[in-house]
Structure 1
Amino acid sequence: MHSTLWIKGTKSKSLEGKTVVLAVTGSIAAVRVVELARELIRNGANVYAVMSEAATRILHPDALHYATGHEVITDITGGVEHVGMCGLQGMADLLLIAPATANTISKIAMGIDDTPVTTFATTAIGSGVATIVVPAMHQSMYDHPAVNSNLEKLGSYGISLVGPRVEEGIAKIAPNDDIVLAVERELMGKKLAGKKIVLTSGATAEAIDPIRIITNRASGKTGQELAREAFRRGGDVTIIHRNELDADGINEVYAESAASMLDSCMEEIGRGCDVFISSAAISDYTLDSLGSKIKSGQKLILEMHPTEKILPQVRSNYPAIVTVGFKAETGVGEKELVGSATRMLEEYGLDMVVANDVMAGGMGTSENSIYILQDESSASHYSGSKRYLASIIMDRVEQILL
């Protein structure tokens, strides 16, 4: 076994059993694909690389041989590599063209195949193999009307586009995390396709004055992992928070206070929603903010009052949607934690509650220990990374939807 394959599946099994052909063209962004290949492998994929001649002048094929663990295709030979990989009975599940130059995009749109990459693209599109294109070029090239037209044409062929991120006068290749997420979405079955998922995440903050706030220790990692997992499964995802996820394809709504989060939730759900997940650590108390900064050095007494709860409002106005609540306690035993979650489940009429003792861990960490309840008779316990726990929670959501 090639030593690179030792990392296979070390991050997740999301792409286990899937074969991705990584096609590289002559953009300077080609230097990024060594790590991209390894990220795909870390998530379980088998990766094979094909390069245009222009790409080999930027990145040596040996680098991708190392990165993928397989010989790199730089020429179409009598072995008809494009057919064996992306033909009607080919071994590839997906063709990922990253980076894709303006030249290559235009050739693919017109059905021209004069490089190994464009030959693979023509074959994949003709065979119905899933294809993702990741553009990268100077902004002036990206803004050319013909390039825009050709990108639209690729979309009409059923090709997914990831990025680019336009900054510093360059249409830059999307981050590797966004590309991997798009590959996962394409290959994981899309069981949530056509479903809109709205979720809250992280801590809210209540203003004391224009400078100072009262907040809590929630990091938002759980909510962000839930958003990514719902997106991987084909969902139309909106995350409401005061953090920044910045993931291509996931809609973000900024909400700072408990009141603004409630308003945003009702607005988003009102546009149509199938699943609402309330994973944010929403402030239980707020106060009347002062209009100017409080002078330092003086004794300060704050009068606080309870915030309005989101879950009862959602459940009352939209009883048909799947609704998931989160319950956090501190320093309690299993019996008390499960009992508290059970009362929440019954009081709000929720479909599911996720509970954990945040004193034992979870806030700000990458791992957690949770209990999942769907009725008062049973509670299932899970521990692991927040990504793993997000997959368990979304498994449950899928079962409820079915």
Structure 2
Amino acid sequence: MPQTPNEHPTLWIKSTRSDSLKGKTIVLAVTGSIAAVRTVELAREFIRRGADVYAVMSESAGWIINPMALQYATGNEVITAITGNVEHVEFFGNLGRADLLLIAPATANTIGKIAAGIDDTPVTTFATTAIGAGKPVMIVPAMHEDMYDHPAVGENIEKMKSWGIRFIGPKIEEGIAKIAGNDEIVLEVEREIGKRTLCGKKILITSGSTAESIDPIRILTNRASGKTGNELALEAYRRGADVTIVHRNRLGVTGINEIYAETADQMTDAVLYELGEGHDVLISAAAIADYTLDASEQKIKSDEGLELKFRPTRKLIKEAKEAHPRTKIVGFKAEAGVDTEELLKRARKTLETSGLDMIVANEVSKGGIGTDNNNVTILYSGKKEDLNIEGPKSLIASVLMDEITSLLTAKDDE
């Protein structure tokens, strides 16, 4: 990004990953857990997504990590004491300029003090002010597992949850209630204070490849990696949606509902069941097998020869459209060895014959499968002009969610 005079060098990385937190101010409150060493990179991850970050530390946090490290990480002076500038009011009073107080890591001691309304450190003073003003507060616990299991700690956490405070983690490993991973923390912060354009919407996504059994050992599948579907699920989640993804991979995000489906038949059944539970949009991004077969119950010996007899699989979109005609459906069309004109012609035909609301077309012989980047074109059922996007799949997911937001807004206005 362009550099400005007197700008702290840390801010040169601002918005280099995305603009998901652009215009947002995050106060990162650090307490005396060894996990405080993780906060340097955590702060920079927020900046990479466009946020302004300020740090406030308790005295005990300074025993773990020097305030200069967080000044480097944030590009701003670190608050280690409340002064005549009344920093807690500046950021979290009724007219305060911060969007979120993130306490990471939060010790059992700090959690207990906040729950009791005690504010004898800069961190707890910030917390009292933010809670009293009704500003968003998120807490990331980190402590030994025995401390986390103390009844009072659990009661304090439940008490604060009842106030609307969100907790992230912890991750229980090796007898320790460890601080959540930075990716998880960043994603939850994006969901809390990001765009939230899909808040209250239910999004169903199919992703990756299916696999049809030949015998207990062998399968027939394709090269689809599921990276696009994963990015779509993450983007929908960070925008506030209730997200379900049907695939045979593992995304591992606590707030996203994952349904395992290996075969085309299993995926179709899972989607139809979920649509029956009510969803606003189905994004059919999976590369579903067109053919299946009757699998052998025993492994076919390699010296016996192999002769396979195929039959067509069910058409997921066709069945979904027939069973739930009011659900918005976004399809994907992959072709290989065709020019752009032919690709768009075939995609347009599928869009119209399948009754889709949108379709995403790409030519996979030139890249896209298994890579982090792609070149796709979105075609619409109305008169809207086709939209070409080239770049990381995370960017493609972001643009597509913009288009889905517009689609649902138009639906709501009908």
Task: Give the TM-score, by structure 2 length.
Answer: 0.94
The percent identity for this pair of structures is 61
- The residue aligned with 2:211 is 205
Counterpart CA distance in 2 for 1:113 and 1:219 is: 50
Matched, 1:354 2:360: yes
In the TM superposition, residue 24 of structure 1 has moved relative to its aligned partner by 0.8
Q: Which amino acid aligns with 1:330?
A: A
Q: Is the 8 A contact 2:356 2:381 kept in 1?
A: no
- The residue aligned with 1:311 is 317
- The residue aligned with 1:366 is 372
Q: Is the 8 A contact 1:162 1:248 kept in 2?
A: no
Q: Is the 8 A contact 1:163 1:248 kept in 2?
A: no
Counterpart CA distance in 2 for 1:336 and 1:105 is: 61
Counterpart CA distance in 1 for 2:36 and 2:287 is: 41
Runs of 4+ in 1 over 3 A off after TM superposition: none
Deviates further, 135-144 or 250-259: 135-144
Counterpart CA distance in 1 for 2:105 and 2:275 is: 37
Counterpart CA distance in 2 for 1:59 and 1:296 is: 61
In the TM superposition, residue 295 of structure 1 has moved relative to its aligned partner by 2.1
In the TM superposition, residue 298 of structure 1 has moved relative to its aligned partner by 4.0
Counterpart CA distance in 1 for 2:347 and 2:167 is: 42
Counterpart CA distance in 2 for 1:287 and 1:56 is: 64
Deviations 1:42-79 (A, max 9, x none): 11111111111111111111111111111111111122
Q: Out of 176, 191, 199, which is 1:193 matched to? A: 199
- The residue aligned with 1:271 is 277
Deviations 1:341-399 (A, max 9, x none): 11111112111111100111111111111111112754221111111111111111111
Could you tell me which runs of 5 or more consecutive residues in structure 2 were left unpaired when the two chains were aligned. 1-6, 410-414
- The residue aligned with 2:388 is 381
For residues 116-135 of structure 1, the aligned pairs below 5 Å read 116-135=122-141
Q: Out of 142, 149, 154, which is 2:160 matched to? A: 154
Q: Is the 8 A contact 1:207 1:289 kept in 2?
A: yes
In the TM superposition, residue 214 of structure 1 has moved relative to its aligned partner by 1.4
Q: Is the 8 A contact 1:338 1:379 kept in 2?
A: no
Matched, 1:229 2:235: yes
Counterpart CA distance in 2 for 1:390 and 1:25 is: 36
Q: Out of 244, 251, 258, which is 1:252 matched to? A: 258
Deviates further, 52-61 or 219-228: 52-61
Q: Out of 169, 173, 186, which is 2:175 matched to? A: 169
Matched, 1:397 2:397: no
Deviates further, 4-13 or 265-274: 265-274
Counterpart CA distance in 1 for 2:114 and 2:358 is: 47
For residues 77-92 of structure 1, the aligned pairs below 5 Å read 77-92=83-98
Q: Which amino acid aligns with 2:97?
A: M
Q: Is the 8 A contact 2:290 2:312 kept in 1?
A: yes
Could you tell me which runs of 5 or more consecutive residues in structure 1 were left unpaired when the two chains were aligned. none
Q: Which amino acid aligns with 1:100?
A: A
Q: Which amino acid aligns with 1:383?
A: E
Q: Secondary structure at the match of 1:53?
A: coil
Q: Out of 168, 186, 190, which is 1:180 matched to? A: 186
Q: Secondary structure at the match of 1:97?
A: strand
Counting matched residue pairs gives 402
Q: Which amino acid aligns with 1:76?
A: I
For residues 264-303 of structure 1, the aligned pairs below 5 Å read 264-303=270-309
Q: Is the 8 A contact 1:208 1:214 kept in 2?
A: yes
Counterpart CA distance in 2 for 1:52 and 1:227 is: 37
For residues 91-130 of structure 1, the aligned pairs below 5 Å read 91-130=97-136
In the TM superposition, residue 189 of structure 1 has moved relative to its aligned partner by 3.5
Counterpart CA distance in 2 for 1:293 and 1:27 is: 54
